[in-house]
Amino acid sequence: MVESLTSSYKRLMDKVHDIIVLQSATAVVHWDMETMMPPKAVQLRSQQLAMLSRITHKMVTDSEIGKLIEAIMKHPDYEKLTEVQKRNVYLIKKEYDEQTKLPEKLVAELAKQRAITTNVWKRAKAAKDYSIFKPELEKLVELSKEAAEILMKVKETKTPYDALLDIYEPKMTSETVAKVFEELRVGLVSLLKKCETAPKQPDVSILKRKVPIEMQKKIAKEIARFIKYDIESKEAGGRIDETEHPFTTGYYDDVRITTHYYEDNFTSSIFSVLHEGGHAMYEQNLRREWIFQPVGTACSSGFHESQSRFVENIVGRSREFWVYFLPKLKEITGNILADVELDRFVHAVNQVKPSKIRIEADEVTYCLHIIIRFNLERNLFADKISVAELPQVWNQSYNEYLGVKIENDSEGVMQDTHWASGLYGYFPTYALGNIYSGQILEAMEKDLPDWKKRLAAGNFQDIKQWLIKNVHSYGNLYDPADLIRKITGKELTVKPYLDYLTQKYSMLYGF
């Protein structure tokens, strides 16, 4: 007798429920490592995380899941499933195929090599010596290529690199990325030149004033209050802690962000709280009824980044935000910023200046850093360049795109952890996020034409509700290309983002 569709579906979802619960517990263990763990526990913790990951992998690749998926998809009543149910089955199948098609041995080798390469990267970066890093990176890239080639067949992508890209940005192709990135590059380079040659230049000395860490913590709390990221009440579902590099982690009712306070760079933490707050907002506002289901997750890495950049830049670096927030900032910091004038401050936090370091980049140059990385990754996985050639191509690109001269590889090709951690195909999602954010802004302006006025009055709630309704609440029901169409009625396009930048920076720099 054929098992009923409902019963198979329920059994499948029960299995997935357990996996998701375990993953959310693992996130807590990971967060603890970054924030609270006594340093002596490093080794023990890596064993704990490896153990949890092995258990999860076993659960994800349980052949029972494969059988249930098949039973459901071949069931005569399959079409009677709802859209959400079908999407859940699709997402489970995608994950199952990805995880089961890779040989166990390769998965284990990759995990081991990732750990080794990350460790060596830290040492090499400290020593400013790429030659220490190179041999381990080569091994990791080779293993990753092997995996990518297998995934390419499973996913039927054009290239191995596309199969990696698809992990973070489902169905996105490197062809599309290359096309939009070229358009983006042209726009950004032109904008950068205009800013650099504009007569009106910002005075950034204000931003170097020393603000005591305790005050900065109060500012962070005030920002959390502003974006309604609850870290204080008896119903709070978040918290802010300190780490070297800010991040967001968690699930539904427990989504935590971190920041870093620099005494002589107080806006760093302001913008990182806004950025991570944007990520957290997304996770906290997925549909309640989708908890423990694959649809109850964010759409993609790119979409996640669209939300963080929206809150950090489109909101947080707007003049209107500071109309409301500068007085609060002055209140908290006493006489430190008492003489700061609104427009000078807004220009300062929007200074455009080519730099060597991606995470310090402004809105105009940021995506150029990403485009460089994308080109390198793509060529690396197409065997057009080698790991040995990376530094040279990197430095050349930085000179060409941004006009900066890289002095050593620690401020060059070794600045980010991504490649050392085996994340290939991830970088482009940062720029895609910015592009999405421009399209989302355009759509929002139709519904909330006076959003800036509301923002200046301290009302972020309406913007947030719009994002929840039009972005967050869709969860993972659609692939990115479908979701951006759903939200904006249009395909992926660079224009709104470039328009937003052009309008904003022409006002600021007066060109």
State yes or no: residue 235 binds its own copies (CB under 8 A). Answer: yes
Q: Any idea of the CA torsion for 494, 496, 499, 501, to the nearest 10 degrees? A: -80
* # chain residues binding its own copies, by CB under 8 A: 37
Among 11, 15, 24, 324, binds its own copies (CB under 8 A): 24
Smallest gap, in angstroms, from Cβ of residue 213 to its own copies?
16
Among 3, 4, 44, 357, binds its own copies (CB under 8 A): 44
Q: Contact with its own copies (CB under 8 A): which of 160, 187, 202, 237?
A: 237
Minimum distance from CB of 291 to its own copies (Å)? 8
Choice from 52, 154, 204, 340 touching its own copies (CB under 8 A): 52
Q: Is residue 449 near its own copies by the rule CB under 8 A?
A: no
Taking the complex as a whole, the smallest distance from the CB of residue 196 to its own copies amounts, in Å, to: 44
Interacting span for its own copies (CB under 8 A) from 167-175, 193-201, 229-237, 268-276: 229-237
359 part of the interface to its own copies, by CB under 8 A: no
**CA 185/CA 190 separation, integer angstroms:** 8
DSSP 116-177: HHHHHHHHHHHHT-HHHHHHHHHHHHHHHHHHHHHHHHHHT-SSHHHHHHHHHSTT--HHHH
Contact between 214 and its own copies per CB under 8 A: no
Taken in order 454, 323, 243, 352, the sign of the CA dihedral is positive
Could you tell me the smallest distance in angstroms from the CB atom of residue 183 to its own copies? 42
Tokens of 169: 């940005």
Q: Is 41 in the site for its own copies (CB under 8 A)?
A: yes
Stretch near its own copies under the rule CB under 8 A, chosen from 45-53, 70-78, 168-176, 414-422: 45-53
Q: How far is the CB of 258 from its own copies (least distance, A)?
A: 12
Asked if 25 touches its own copies (CB under 8 A), the answer is yes
Q: Which is nearer to its own copies, 23 or 473 (CB)?
A: 23
Distant-in-sequence, close-in-space partners of 422: CB < 8 Å, separation ≥ 6: 110, 113, 114, 117, 140, 144
Nearer to its own copies, 37 or 178 (CB): 37
Q: Quick check: 22 binds its own copies (CB under 8 A)?
A: yes
Is 468 one of the binding residues for its own copies (CB under 8 A)?
no
DSSP E strand boundaries for 326-405: none
228 φψ region: left (φ > 0), alpha (ψ -120 to 50), beta (else): left
Please tell me whether residue 236 binds its own copies under the rule CB under 8 A: yes
Q: Which of the stretches 14-22, 304-312, 338-346, 358-366 binds its own copies when contact is defined by CB under 8 A?
A: 14-22
Token pair belonging to 403:
């006009």
Please tell me the distance from the alpha carbon of residue 256 to that of residue 253, in angstroms, as a whole number.
10
Query: What residues contact 434, with CB distance under 8 A and at least 6 apart?
Result: 305, 306, 309, 363, 366, 367, 497
Nearer to its own copies, 38 or 76 (CB): 38
Residue 252 or 466 with smaller CB distance to its own copies: 252
Angle at 121 between CA 120 and CA 122, to 5 degrees: 90
Type of residue at 429: T
* Rg of the chain taking only CA atoms, in angstroms: 23
* Helix extents (H) in 36-129: 42-60, 63-73, 83-101, 104-127
- Give yes or no for a contact between 295 and 476, defined as CB atoms under 8 angstroms apart: yes
CB of 82 to its own copies, least distance (A): 24
Among 98, 136, 169, 276, the one annotated catalytic: 276
Q: Examine the residue annotation and report whether 276 is marked as an active-site residue of this protein.
A: yes
- The maximal CA–CA distance of the chain, rounded, in angstroms, is 80
Nearest partner of 260 among 246, 240, 281, 278, judged by Cα? 246
Residue from 1, 76, 79, 234 in contact with its own copies (CB under 8 A): 234
Sites of contact with its own copies (CB under 8 A): 18, 21-22, 24-25, 28-29, 32, 36-41, 43-45, 47-49, 51-52, 55, 230-231, 233-239, 251-254, 256
Catalytic residue annotation: 276
